[in-house]
Amino acid sequence: MESSPVARKLNPSDLPLDRLVSNRGLSEKEKLAGISHHFEAILLRQFLNDAQKPLLKSKGAMLGASHDIYQDMIVNQLAEAISKTGTFGLANSFQAQMTHPHKVDGQTADRDAPKQ
* Residue pair 35/20 in contact by the 8 Å Cβ criterion: yes
For the chain, domain boundaries: 12-53+64-96
Instruction: Give CA–CA dist 92/39, Å, rounded.
Output: 11
List the beta bridge partners of residue 109.
102
Q: How far apart are CA 82 and CA 37, in angstroms?
A: 10
pTM score of the predicted model: 0.64
Tens-digit pLDDT string for the chain (116 aa): 444 444 456 667 677 777 777 778 888 888 888 888 888 999 999 998 888 777 555 555 556 778 788 888 999 999 988 888 888 888 888 888 888 766 655 555 555 555 54
Other Cβ atoms closer than 10 A to 74: 12
Q: Are 91 and 56 in contact (CB under 8 A)?
A: no
Q: Residue 103 pairs with which residues in a beta bridge?
A: 108
